[in-house]
Structure 1
Amino acid sequence: MSKLVISTSVFQSQVADLLPCNNHQKSQLIHSLLNAYKLLPYFDEVLVFPYVKKTELVEFHSKAYTKLLINEKLNKMLPQDIDDPVVESKWNELIELAKNWNEKVDDHSTQEVQRFASREDLYEYYHSQLHTLEEDNDIGSSDVMGAYDETSTTDPCLSDDEKKEYNLEGDCPIFSYLPMHCQVITGATLNLLDHMSPTDRLIGINWDGGRHHAFKQKANGFCYVNDVVLLIQRLRKMKINKITYVDFDLHHGDGVEKAFQYSKQIQTISVHLYEPGFFPGTGSLLDSRKGKNVVNIPLKHGCDDSYLDLVASKIIGPLIKRHVPEVLIIECGGDGLLGDRFNEWQLTIRGLSQTIVNIMKSYPQAHIFLLGGGGYNNLLMSRFYTYLTWCVVKEFSNARQVNDLNQSDPFNICDGDDDSEQFILEHDLVEMYGEENYQYWIYEMEGSSWMKTLRNDNKVEDIVEIMKHYEL
């Protein structure tokens, strides 16, 4: 029997959206759409206030880097954010939309929990919850990441040399409430482990996780704390050794691979675009060590559903079967989808979701963790994670719940149903989808101006070469 657990809430989504590349929208759109499609009641547990202690971070990251990230003096509005009207406007946009929608809704039972009107209010809630946790769990404030080093005299304005050393510049700038962000988003992944048991198969989800680029002592690629590595480290402490990590992000999962490149028990599989000049520049076939557990599957421009399905069946599946994992971690990055701003691959929401679910079904005894990842069209990503969540609960919930899902299929996509009839369900942020005519499958509809067809540079011969490399 599977136990389904997800970490998501208004609080978590707003904290996640402090990350600049989320554009103050991505995670809130995902959470609101999950609610609109009434998927959360199908989970056995919904975690609403995740957090980690400082000791959990240093299980992978260096003490110096960790101390810098969780400097309590960064838990405030920083000057660059206070003075930026664009940032403030983006932060307020969804709050105003939700407020206006709620005022018009007659059925108050459908309303969302009230969003936090400011980042200061968000932090006040966070701080109050920390004190409650300290009292309930008999832990001191020095053990809680958000309250760690409160007496530090370190100037939160780092020198240029420090920013360079820890890569806290460029795509990884210091932003307001960075320590809170690190605590909550990392906790959203690690707290899933609290629900593992010897009798049930755990399927845990954190769509705000999957920060696969962060290194031991520096940030990288929009990632500050590598929750994937920390998750694996914790699993190993729990005496679970055989673990497979599969990464579907458009970008190479370099941070996770480097952390376990010499491990005989941890298998890392990364499917990614590999072209000259494309970030992070690693992940070639030659980077893999033949016969070991580091697996790179470098693909070219234009990868589509059928090609990825071939990669999964001919390479990924046999390699996982060879490793026989007790736990399977899947990074479900969506930046390879049709409609993403990178415009490099042409995967569909349904195609990528089906590939992920097929892998899950192939290993019924393994605990599974599904984590988020890249994806730079926020409206597209909310659709993807909502549909993938629906696929997961439909496939792995208990019989009664599955019957309920079949009877109230919100997507109604079977038997050749007309995609054009599938509109985004009414909810507090529905107006965000107005420019896309509120259509769920707008990026995959034949004849739609939003659908882009790319030339597929990937060949079957490439798969044959990769199979030979890994002796399949």
Structure 2
Amino acid sequence: MGKLVIACSQFQSQVADLLPCNKGRKSQLVYGLLNCYSLLDKFDYVIAKPYCDKKELLKFHAELYIDALLNSSYDRLLPYDEDESSWSQLLEMAKDWSHRHETQVTTHWSTRAQLYEYFQGLRSRKRSAADVESDDERHEIDGKAFNLEGDCPIFSYLPMYCQVVTGATLRLADYIELNSQDERTIAINWDGGRHHAMKKRASGFCYVNDIVLLIQKLRSKGFQKLTYVDFDLHHGDGVERAFQFSSNVQTISMHLFECGFFPTTGSLEDSKKGKNIANIPLAHGLDDEYLDEIVTKVVIPLIDHHSPQAIVIQCGGDGLMGDEYNEWQLTIRGLCENILKIVSNYSNCSVVLLGGGGYNPTVMSRFYAYLTGKLIDPKFLQDEDAIIPEHTFIDAYHDEHYKFWAYEIEGSLLRKTLKNENKSQFINEVKKHYGI
């Protein structure tokens, strides 16, 4: 198995849930399930207080953009965002559960201001000269210039969010060594995987491209050849563009490609615009069987050809049954099996697993808990009738009758069957396109 590392804590999950599309609960529900299944106890290292400084962010992003993101005037409650009820919704749930079970609520910050106060204590010990200097140069920011609007709005404590979530990914690299005498490292940050962020602007709910920064850090540690694999419903455009002309970094993205679907890039033809790009544009209704064919017949041969020393996998879950997009119909088990196929197929490679899209928080918590469990123990959660264990956030699963496989059970009202518009002959077209 090798060395297991994960960036995960109550602090990190509450910071990650500042991101509006997390709906105040996605990351905390993941953390809750990882805890109630005792999965964190199985890791060799758990990073609980992640942080990165401005200097690290500048390894990829433009300084004017980073200055905008880290503007100290955003590290507070913004005037239009003072209501704590949405962000602290799980605290009330935790209090109710603790009252019923006559226990105390574990460390849980009840306000964002309290969370920031804790963050300041972390930051004061780890700040670089660039951070201190930039504090003295704050000025009015034109958010539109950096696309800090629409799906990438400025929100309360945005700088803290960027430094903690990106730091969680970058700290994983501290545990990964080239030609280590130990076994390989498998490292996880389910809050990372922000694959749309560009060098000079935010995009698609992504502000800092932690994936690009991670790959650059691994390259600086001596890793020459790396492969990036993206399972998200959306094209991994930010990562692809960053390494468009790199012979050493291979980018592979499987994604929905339809007219007008964000980010509208990622065609087979687009793959010709760089040195080591592999786009696999897919249609509506993708299912487990077709994904399995794609991974077996296309993705693995592509990785084999590149012979990477480390692999980074973006594990987006917006193609799962139950997701708000309702575009693909992957099951948790089916998606996990294909991710694990890559992990197991390259047993000499260190692997970093990052999060990504996914807009039904209770589906995503199941997905990341199951994938984490299967990485640790292949026999994890084999019961078809599995019930979500009793824990602090159990009430979040009430509408799904607490069933782990609620969205995948045959006959379930929550299960939706889509027409698979992906054609078998397309796989041969892709193989021919990439010469495999």
Does residue 1:412 correspond to 2:382, yes or no? yes
Alignment of 1:45-56 (within 5 A): 45-56=45-56
CA positional deviation for 1:165: 1.5
- Alpha-carbon displacement from aligned partner over 1:118-167 (angstroms, at most 9, x marks no partner): 00000000001222x34xxxxx55345xx662233413xx4xxx222100
Tell me the equivalent position of 2:100.
104
- Please report how far the alpha carbon of residue 92 of structure 1 lies from its aligned counterpart in structure 2 after TM superposition: 2.2
Aligned to 1:196: 176
Which residue in 2 is equivalent to 1:119? 112
Matched, 1:94 2:64: no
User: Which letter maps to 2:367?
Assistant: F
Residues 1:425 and 2:389 are matched in the alignment: yes
Map of 2:238 onto structure 1: 255
Return the offset for 1:102: 1.7
In the other structure, the counterpart of 1:180 is 160
| Residues 245 and 329 in structure 1, CA contact (< 8 A), matched pair in contact too | yes
Match of 1:399 in 2: none
For 1:150, give the aligned amino acid. Answer: D
Q: Is the 8 A contact 2:194 2:211 kept in 1?
A: yes
Aligned residue number for residue 268 of structure 2:
285
Provide the residue aligned with 2:325 in structure 1.
342
Secondary structure at the aligned position of 1:217 is classed as: coil
**Structure 2: 5+ residue runs without aligned partners?**
none
Cα distance between partner residues in 2 of 1:3 and 1:189: 16
Where do residues 8-87 of structure 1 align in structure 2 (5 Å cutoff)? 8-82=8-82, 85=83
1:2 & 1:432 partners in 2: Cα distance?
A: 34
Alignment of 1:383-422 (within 5 A): 383-395=366-378, 409=380, 411-413=381-383, 419=384, 421-422=385-386
2 CA distance for matches of 1:193 and 1:287? 30
CA contact (8 A) 1:5 1:203 kept: yes
Secondary structure at 1:384 match in 2: helix
How far did residue 289 of structure 1 move?
1.6
SS in 1 for 2:11: helix
Is 1:272–1:299's contact at 8 Å kept on the other side of the alignment? yes
Letter in 2 for 1:390: G
Shift of residue 291, structure 1, vs aligned partner: 9.2
> Contact 2:244/2:273 (CA < 8 Å) preserved in 1?
no
In structure 1, what is the equivalent of residue 282 of structure 2? Answer: 299
The 2-side partners of 1:290 and 1:53 are apart by 33
Contact 1:54 1:148 in 2 (8 A): no
* C-alpha separation in 2, matches of 1:21 and 1:291: 31
Q: In the aligned structure 2, how far is the partner of 1:304 from the partner of 1:148? A: 51
By how many angstroms is 1:112 displaced? Answer: 6.0
1:402 maps to none
Q: 1:89 is paired with a residue of what secondary structure?
A: coil
| Aligned equivalent of 2:251 | 268
Partner of 1:378: 361
Q: Secondary structure at the match of 1:5?
A: strand
TM superposition score normalised by structure 2: 0.97
Contact 1:75/1:180 (<8 A) preserved: yes
Q: CA deviation at 1:251?
A: 0.2
Q: Partner residue of 2:419?
A: 455
Q: 1:206 aligns with which of 189, 195, 203?
A: 189
Structure 1 outlier segments of 4+, above 4 Å:
none
Counterpart-to-counterpart distance in 1, 2:339 and 2:327: 20
Structure 1 residue identity aligned to 2:91:
I
* Distance in structure 2 (CA, Å) of the matches to 1:62 and 1:246: 25
Distance in 2 (CA, whole Å) between partners of 1:311 and 1:291 is 22
Q: Give the share of equivalent positions with the same residue, in percent.
A: 53
Which whole-Å CA distance do the structure 2 matches of 1:361 and 1:236 have between them?
23
The SS at the match of 1:60 is coil
Give 1:91 shift: 1.4
- Post-superposition shift, 1:241? 1.4
Query: Where does residue 403 of structure 1 map in the other structure?
Result: none
Query: Does the residue aligned with 1:322 lie in a helix, a strand or coil?
Result: helix
Structure 1 residues 164 and 222, CA gap change in structure 2 (3 angstroms): same
State the distance in 2 between where 1:412 and 1:305 align: 18
Residue aligning to 2:129:
142
- For the residue of structure 2 that corresponds to 1:381, the secondary structure is helix
CA deviation map 1:332-367 (0-9, x unaligned): 000000110000000000000010001111000111
Alignment check: 8 A CA contact 2:245 2:274 kept: no
1:152 corresponds in structure 2 to 137
| Number of positions where the alignment pairs a residue of Structure 1 with one of Structure 2 | 433
Question: How many angstroms does 1:105 deviate by?
Answer: 2.4
Query: Residue in 2 aligned with 1:468?
Result: 432
- Residue 99 of structure 1 deviates from its aligned partner by 1.4
Q: Hey, what's the Cα distance between the residues in 2 that align with 1:412 and 1:335?
A: 23
Partner AA of 2:175 in structure 1: H
Alignment root-mean-square deviation, CA: 1.5
Shift in CA distance, 50/148, structure 1 to aligned 2, threshold 3 Å: farther
Equivalents in 2 of 1:302, 1:220: separation in Å? 25
Counterparts of 2:311 and 2:96, CA distance in 1: 42
* Structure 1 stretches lacking a partner, 5+ long: 135-139, 396-405, 414-418
